Structure 1
Amino acid sequence: MQPTLVILAAGMASRYGSQKQTESFGPSGETIMEYSIYDAIRAGFKKVVFIIRKDFADNFKAIVEPKLQGKVEIGYVYQQLDAYLGNRQVPADRVKPWGTGHAILCCQDVVKEPFAVINADDFYGSDAFVKAYQFLLDGCADSKYAVVAYKLKNTLSENGSVSRGVLSVSDKVEMLGVTEHTKIYPEADKIVFEKENGEKGELSSNTLVSMNFFCFAPNFIDLCSDLFEPFLEKHMNEPKSEFLMPYVVDRFIKDGHGVMEVITTDAKWFGVTYKEDAPSVKASIEAQVNAGNYPTSLWK
C-alpha cells in the first residue's frame, strides 16, 4: 500500500511568536516544510496530509496549494479542541491543542495506509525520507514501527538550549525507551545537559535522539484512540496537559504491542525553536541550494 506523509502543523508556535509553518525561509519564498515535501516526493511519497487548525486553514491552503497542485495528492485534517472528547466539554481554560497524539487520532477517517509523521517546522534532510519511505514499503507492520534517529551533534541550536528525546537502543537496533532532557547545549568542546537540580551531565555527540520523525502502520491511530480516553480521565482539567505521540510509542513498546526499529540518519536537522534561529536556518538552506541539493525554486 502506498505510504502517506503526515505533517503536524497545528501547533501554536508560542515560543517562536508567529506562524512559522507558513514563514518563508528558501530563496524563492519556500517554507521549511516545502523542503520536506520536496524530499518526500523525491523519495517516492505520493500523498501528503496536513494536520492544521481550522482557523488558519484558508491562509495555509492559499500558500500551499498553488505550489503543490499536480505534484502530490493533498489531504487535510483539522485538529479541533472538541474532537474525540465524547460527551465531555472543552474546559474553559483550555487554549492549546491536546498534543501530537491527539493530532494523529484526528487522522482516523483520513489515513488508512502506512504513514510517516514529521513536524512542519523542522528540516529533516533527504536521506531521512528515503530511508523512511523504504521502511514503510518493506518493513512496516502492525507490530513493527520505526523512529528516524538523528545524531545529537546534528540537531543543536546556536541560540539557546534544546530539549531532546535521547533514545535507548537495543543490540537489535530497536528502541527500548526515550529519556527527555530539557536543557542540552554545547559547552566548550562538550555537549552537556542540565538536570532540574542544576547538576550537569555529558552526552556524546553521536547520541541518538528522536526529532519526532516516526513511521507507523495505520493501527497506531487505533492505539492513540485507546489511550486518549484514560488520558482525559486523568489530565483533562490540567490546562497545559498534552497527549503526546512519544507517550503512545512508549506504551506500544512497553505493553508488548510490538517493536520500534531505529533508522539512523547522518542528515543535519535544523529548525526554528527560537526567533533567533531564523537567519541560520535561511543560511543553512541557502548552503544546501548552493551545493546543488535543491533548486533555487523548488516548484518551477
Structure 2
Amino acid sequence: MTLLLMAAGKGSRYGKLKQFDGLGPNEEFLMEFSIYDAIDAGFNHVVIITQLDHVAFLQDHLMARIPKNIKLDVLSQKLEELPPGAEILVERQKPWGTAHAVWTARNHINSPFVVLNADDYYGRAAFHKAASFIKNPETTSPYAMVGYTLIETLSPNGSVSRGICSIKNGNLLSVEERLKIISENGEIVDLDSGQQFSGEEMVSMNFWVCQPSLFSEIETYFSQFLQDKELIKNSEVYLPFVIQHLIAKQKTTVTVLPSSGKWFGVTYANDRELAVMALADMTNKEIYPSPLWGNTY
C-alpha cells in the first residue's frame, strides 16, 4: 500500500513552509507522524510531491530516518508537466493544484493508495481504517474518504475552509466548499453565506483512498480544464472536484469512513503552539516514541 503526501504548498497564511516546520518534540515535521502512522498500519511505499527546490532536501531528510524497508519517492510538481498534446500560451506561476500534484505520481503508483496533505495531522486510526478498507475483499466501493466532524477541525485563530459532506447510505454524494467557517460567540457560521452549522457535520480534510485508475481520470479532467483560456490564467484543478465529477458521472462510489481519531492543522502561525503541545502530549503518553524514528537518526 502506498501513502501519497502533498507537500508542494507555500503556506501563505501560515507565513512560511509549514510542511517543513519542526513541530515534533525532536523537530519532526508533521508529515513524519503521518508516515509513522501509515507504516504502523502496513503501508510500505511513501510518495511525496513537493516543489523542485525541496526534492533533494526532503529525500535526504527522510532517507536518514524512516525504516530502510520502506520505499521512498520524492517528486516535484512542475508547471510544464502537461497531458500529451496539451500546451498553454499564457504566463503562469501558480501551481496547477492538488489533482495535478497527484497526477505527478502516475508513473510511480500502480496499486491502491492513500492521498492526504503533508501539513495536517490525521491520527493513527485514520490510517488503520484506510488500510482495512483497502485489504477488505468484500469492499464494494473502489474509493473512500476518511471524514471528521466539523467542530473538531476548527481553528481558534481565524476562519477556515472546509468541505461539508453530503452522505447517503454511507457513501459520499458531494462536498460543498465553505471558505470562511468560524466559531465565535458559541456559534459556528460561514462568514460568506451566513449559514450556521451544528458542528456535527462530516467534513473532508483531504484524506482519500484511491485507485490507480484515478490518474487517467485526472488527465482527462485536466486536459478539458486546459482548453478554457480563462481557467488556465489563475484557477487550479482540485482533487475533490475530480472525485466529485466521477461521483456525478456515476463512474465511482466513495465510502465515507468516519475517523475516531484526532485531526489538527496549522493554518495560522498561532496554530503552531497548539500543534506542538498536542504532539508533545501524545509523545509523553507514549503514543509516539521520542525521538520518533529512534536510532535511525
TM-score by length of 1: 0.92
Pick closer, same or farther for the CA change 1:258–1:237 going to 2, 3 Å.
closer
C-alpha distance in structure 1 between counterparts of 2:47 and 2:8, whole Å: 12
Contact 1:99–1:244 (8 Å) recurs in 2 = yes
Please identify, of 62-71 and 48-57, the stretch whose mean Cα deviation from structure 2 is larger: 62-71
Counterpart of 1:17 in structure 2 is: 15
Regions of 4+ moved over 6 Å: none
- Greater shift, 265-274 or 205-214, is seen at 265-274
Segment of structure 1 superposing worse, 101-110 or 207-216: 101-110
Distance 1:238 1:29, change over 3 A: same
Match of 1:101 among 89, 99, 102: 99
Measure, in 2, the Cα distance between the counterparts of 1:71 and 1:26: 23
TM-score calculated relative to the size of structure 2: 0.93
Structure-2 separation of matches of 1:247 and 1:156: 22
Q: Distance in 1 between the 2:264 and 2:72 partners? A: 25
Question: In the TM superposition, what are the counterparts of 1:229-244 in structure 2 within 5 Å?
Answer: 229-235=223-229, 238-244=232-238
Q: Which amino acid aligns with 2:134?
A: L
Q: Retained in 1: the 8 A contact 2:5–2:118?
A: yes
Larger mean CA deviation between 139-148 and 123-132 belongs to 139-148
C-alpha deviations, 1:25-74, integer Å up to 9, x for none? Answer: 01111000000001001111111111122222122223222111515211
Equivalent residue, structure 2, for 1:279:
273
Task: List gaps (5 residues or longer) in structure 2.
Answer: none
Q: SS of the residue aligned with 2:293?
A: coil
What SS class does the counterpart of residue 252 from structure 1 fall into?
helix
Identity %: 36
Q: Does 1:203 align with 2:197?
A: yes
Match of 1:178 in 2: 175
Kept after mapping to 2: 8 A contact 1:124/1:267: yes
How far 1:235 sits from its partner (Å)?
Answer: 4.9
Matched position secondary structure for 1:214:
strand
Cα distance in 1 for residues equivalent to 2:87 and 2:218: 20
Cα RMSD (Å) of the superposition? 1.9
2:39 corresponds to 1:45? no
Gaps of 5+ in 1: none
Aligned length: 294
Q: Cα distance 1:91–1:66, how it changes in 2: closer, same or farther (>3 A)?
A: farther
Distance across 1 between alignment mates of 2:49 and 2:138: 22
Is the 1:288–1:294 contact (alpha carbons within 8 Å) kept by the matching residues of 2? yes
State how far apart, in whole Å, the 1-side matches of 2:40 and 2:291 are.
Answer: 15
Residues 275-300 of structure 1 show CA distances to partners (whole Å, capped at 9, x for unaligned) of: 12111110111111122211121101
| Equivalent residue number for residue 188 of structure 1 | 185
**Quick check: 1:68 aligned with 2:70?**
no
